[in-house]
Structure 1
Amino acid sequence: MRWLLERGGPIGRFSQSVLLTVPEGAGLPRLTDALQAVLDHHDMLRSRLTPSLELDVSPVGRVHAADLLDRRDVSGRSGTDDLYACVAEEFDRAVGRLDPAAGAMVRAVWFDAGADRAGRLLLVVHHLAVDGVSWRILVPDLKAAWEAVAAGRSPQLPPVATSFRRWSMALGRQARTPSRVAEAELWRRIADAPRAPLGLRPLDPDRDTAATTRSLRLTLPPETTGPLLTGVPAGFAVGAQDVLLTGLALAVADRQGSPHVVLDVEGHGREELAPGLELSGTIGWFTSLYPVHLDLEGVDVRDALAAGPAAGLAVARVAERLRELPDQGAGHGLLRHLNPDTAAELAKAPTPAIGFNYLGRFSAPGTAAGEPWAFAPESSALGAGCDPGLAAAHALDINAVVHDTAAGPRLVADWAWPEGVLTEPEVRALAESWFTVLTALVSRAGSGAGMSVAGLSRDELDELTEGLD
């Protein structure tokens, strides 16, 4: 959250959204009561950004669902394009009504298709109150609340074991512990790592904004995505994110001609940083962001690209680097933003040119066609929840997600960059190179030539490097 407030530019529209299929004749009163139950249950949905840049939570019952939920009659609209246009129009209007300073963190629109057709429910929540994992809590809670209301019962939602307030206070204490302060040396080393420039010029926060950002989407087919998520991690004894970052590091190293790749990585941030914290039912923005130095010194990048033995070494090197980071990198944000003794020095570190975020696996919109409370087929009509004047975070941002479809899992990668810093052909070449490397890793693991890196020391990895040289 502090990272967002430091970026520069407006943040009123900065949000996440879902479009859900809802039962026929869902009814505005029942949807309102269900949304009210969710608002009362989850504190962050009732929060307000104060002038002192703190979040103040309103008491239960103070925020009224009836003021947040609109109805749009689409009963006479049968064409798909017509509904898409209607959803896009209402999405833009809902996002424009968000105002964190006024406590307007949530907007919703019910697309009423009539008593005999499934409607749609749009939920827009400001990013200060929600993250990607939160939707796995929020949507089931909303479904359960509506089903209770429809059955004439009072909604009884699963308890929230740890409030976001308690979590936030724990972060402040954790940032000052001796073990966490000692971790600052690790982040200093990463800040000092060599890095090659990316793009035609440095980022300019006044010039490089969301309005000047361009995007590109590439999709990896199921026949490659499937083994990429299963066989490759198993073959190399690493996680799926290790594999994705290895492929990206090799692609970037090949394009920039340097074995040193430094990038920002996003994590879910819900780490067990203190005893007694249980976040499985808590809504809020927990995301962590931390720099990583992926050192491929001594790795034959061209051999790795061709699915040679160096591919296994690259996976080992990247996994070893990621394994060095305590608590999945969550400590960087603590020391960078919540400890005044370490914040100033870490703030001087240059921002990595590349940002990477792997969101995990979700059912693709429309996969469960017609099933209530599933992602609706028209979800692609939702635009970007972002203010045009918000400064770009990186020269290049990659957001990857796996969509489970009827044909199998597909890796979908969205690439975004400010116009004038990079060009579309440059980004496309890098994106295609990443997919080529991931395909090579699938081939390497499929040949039975994987390499387990679990438990290997840095000296042992160096010996492997020498052996392959």
Structure 2
Amino acid sequence: MKEAHHFNQSVMLHRANPLDEDALRKTLKAITVHHDVLRLIFAKDERGDLCLYNRPASIGEDQLYNLRIINLTGASTDNEHIIKHQVRELQKAMDLENGPLVQAGLFRSSEGDDLFLSIHHLAVDGISWRIILEDLASGYEQAIRGDDIALPPKTASFQTYTEQLAKYAESRRLLQQADYWRAIEQHETVALPKEQTHIDKSALKKRNTVSFTLAQQETDALLKDVHNAYNTDTQDLLLASAVLAIQQWAPQQALKIALEGHGRQSEAGHHDISRTVGWFTAIYPVLLQLEPNTWDDHHEEYMIRTLKITKDTLRRIPDKGFGYGVLKYMTPPEKAKIEFGKAPDITFNYLGQFEIANRVQTETEQLDAFTFSPLGGGEDITGTWKREQSLDISALVAEGKLTVNMTYETNRFQKETIERLSQDCQYFLRKLMNHCLSKTETEKTVSDFDDRELTEEALKNITDLLGFH
């Protein structure tokens, strides 16, 4: 890809009380020394292949991270405009061959300090950010007290994990999944509609985002209270609501979606990587075999059936999708025997919960705490990157509220279409939640049983015969 150095993940944090520069530098140094992958560089070998090199922890502090400090206190100009400009510069400042891959910007103003952190995506993923943010809060608190920073013990290194992964790529356990993934790849589905956008594409952003956010009370219910009805989890309801919205827009008998998971739950590596920073994301296709649309006569019944299909489909994916990418990119083709086709039009990613501090704090603690800044982190990824998917649906919970983002190709979909899709997704999510909250007993679905050949119809016949659900 062009501009490979501009392929990052970032976060913008806010703190009401000013940050101490020395304590911040001490914290950033401790984090980059502690987590080996943050010292990676990427260089070509004599054959021109890109290789990863881990630099020692003893390198100079300026090679561990870059911190730019901008004082906007008393500035008469638009602070937000200045911050966005500086953030763009930091996003483009990654040096893959020489480092560092950690860029930081501290923006001081009369309203408090905003701390921007950007890390190249090759070194970080969603769970990595949870680890880093925890270490930032803990490390800074220790530094400001004058203590030596002690971060939680390391888990297995990224290098150790990748070495084990290479062995897994040709293991019998993985090759047993080949039939499943081969069938998924061979199943053809209908592409999403391509719309006439009627706009000047030369002056347009290639991708745009439409979002909605649930209130804290609704989010709490989604995370905790709704799942007793069908033994579901949060991802089940989020994906089912998105599927229902898509079906309302472009009905299909089968829908293929690229699902992103954190990739850390697999036993493939046989190592604890719960506090290992790195890019572990597993991306794999999910094939949802949907029933004929019966909106008019059986609206709620159709919604619940879609939720059950979504849940049962996800539960029966081998190794939670982890093996797909290994088979595609690491297993020798003559052993995998899979003809990998075009990626799905849609990707879905539930990133989970991001909390920097406990919600209940004293007034002093609130002034000292890191919170997510509304300023945002700008463009993480270069506009020259061509994504495989034309529609990306992602969801995360931050500071107690769920936000669902729909990012789309502006030369393929009209904004009004995606706004309607987002509204429908929100509508179906609330409908599913209300239904689940109204159920007083748990109803099992086919994936709650060990028999992988059991069908929904067979389960219904059994429960009808026995007189329970």
TM-score, normalising length: structure 1: 0.85
Output the CA distance in 2 between the equivalents of 1:155 and 1:229.
34
> Is residue 282 of structure 1 aligned with residue 279 of structure 2?
no
Q: Secondary structure at the match of 2:237?
A: helix
**Alignment correspondent of 2:324:** 332
Q: Which consecutive residues of structure 2, in runs of 5 or more, have no partner in the other structure? A: 196-200, 464-469
Aligned length: 446
1:269 corresponds, among 246, 263, 270, to 263
Q: Secondary structure at the match of 2:280?
A: coil
Name the aligned partner's letter for residue 254 of structure 1: Q
| Residue deviations 1:158-197 (CA, integer Å, cap 9, x gap) | 1212001111112111111011012111111111224111
**Alignment correspondent of 2:53:** 56
Conservation of the 8 A alpha-carbon contact between 1:217 and 1:415: yes
Cα distance, 1:161–1:381 mapped onto 2, change above 3 Å: closer
1:400 corresponds, among 392, 395, 412, to 395
**Alignment correspondent of 1:3:** none
Output the CA distance in 1 between the equivalents of 2:163 and 2:90.
32
Output the CA distance in 1 between the equivalents of 2:125 and 2:85.
24
Name the aligned partner's letter for residue 127 of structure 1: H
Cα distance, 1:364–1:85 mapped onto 2, change above 3 Å: farther
Q: CA deviation at 1:346?
A: 4.5
Q: Secondary structure at the match of 2:354?
A: strand
Output the CA distance in 2 between the equivalents of 1:136 and 1:286.
14
Output the CA distance in 1 between the equivalents of 2:120 and 2:155.
23
**Alignment correspondent of 2:404:** 413
Conservation of the 8 A alpha-carbon contact between 1:20 and 1:373: no
2:34 corresponds, among 33, 41, 45, to 41
Which runs of structure 2 are paired with 1:14-413 in the superposition (5 Å)? 14-22=7-15, 24-51=17-44, 52-65=49-62, 68-77=66-75, 82-113=78-109, 118-200=112-194, 211-222=205-216, 224-274=218-268, 276-297=270-291, 300=294, 306-307=299-300, 309-341=301-333, 346=338, 348-363=340-355, 370-378=366-374, 380-405=375-400, 409=401, 411-413=402-404
Output the CA distance in 1 between the equivalents of 2:149 and 2:377.
29
| Residue deviations 1:60-89 (CA, integer Å, cap 9, x gap) | 121524861121112324x9x944333322
Q: Percent identity?
A: 26
Output the CA distance in 1 between the equivalents of 2:342 and 2:157.
34
CA-based RMSD of the aligned residues comes to: 3.2
Name the aligned partner's letter for residue 92 of structure 2: G
| Residue deviations 1:417-453 (CA, integer Å, cap 9, x gap) | 2122222122222222222222221232233276322
Name the aligned partner's letter for residue 71 of structure 2: D
Which aligned runs of 4 or more in structure 1 are off by greater than 6 angstroms? 364-369, 465-468
Q: CA deviation at 1:311?
A: 2.8
Conservation of the 8 A alpha-carbon contact between 2:67 and 2:105: yes
| Residue deviations 1:32-64 (CA, integer Å, cap 9, x gap) | 222111111111111011222222110112152
Cα distance, 1:70–1:155 mapped onto 2, change above 3 Å: same
Q: CA deviation at 1:92?
A: 1.0
Name the aligned partner's letter for residue 419 of structure 1: T
Output the CA distance in 2 between the equivalents of 1:24 and 1:227.
33
Cα distance, 1:70–1:45 mapped onto 2, change above 3 Å: same
Conservation of the 8 A alpha-carbon contact between 2:11 and 2:376: no
Output the CA distance in 2 between the equivalents of 1:362 and 1:229.
13
Conservation of the 8 A alpha-carbon contact between 1:238 and 1:319: yes
Q: CA deviation at 1:108?
A: 1.0
Name the aligned partner's letter for residue 425 of structure 1: E
Conservation of the 8 A alpha-carbon contact between 2:72 and 2:108: yes
Q: Secondary structure at the match of 2:381?
A: coil
TM-score, normalising length: structure 2: 0.85
Q: Secondary structure at the match of 1:234?
A: coil
Cα distance, 1:435–1:23 mapped onto 2, change above 3 Å: closer
> Is residue 427 of structure 1 aligned with residue 421 of structure 2?
no
Range 52-61 or range 448-457, more displaced: 448-457
Name the aligned partner's letter for residue 140 of structure 2: W
Output the CA distance in 2 between the equivalents of 1:342 and 1:84.
55
Output the CA distance in 1 between the equivalents of 2:109 and 2:233.
43
Output the CA distance in 1 between the equivalents of 2:147 and 2:223.
42
> Is residue 442 of structure 1 aligned with residue 440 of structure 2?
no
Conservation of the 8 A alpha-carbon contact between 2:328 and 2:340: no
Output the CA distance in 2 between the equivalents of 1:425 and 1:100.
39
Cα distance, 1:350–1:276 mapped onto 2, change above 3 Å: closer
Name the aligned partner's letter for residue 260 of structure 2: E
Cα distance, 1:259–1:467 mapped onto 2, change above 3 Å: farther
| Residue deviations 1:110-135 (CA, integer Å, cap 9, x gap) | 22458xx7423221111111111112
Cα distance, 1:25–1:214 mapped onto 2, change above 3 Å: closer
Q: Secondary structure at the match of 2:368?
A: coil
Conservation of the 8 A alpha-carbon contact between 1:212 and 1:419: yes
Output the CA distance in 2 between the equivalents of 1:159 and 1:359.
24
Q: Secondary structure at the match of 2:322?
A: helix
Output the CA distance in 1 between the equivalents of 2:417 and 2:155.
47
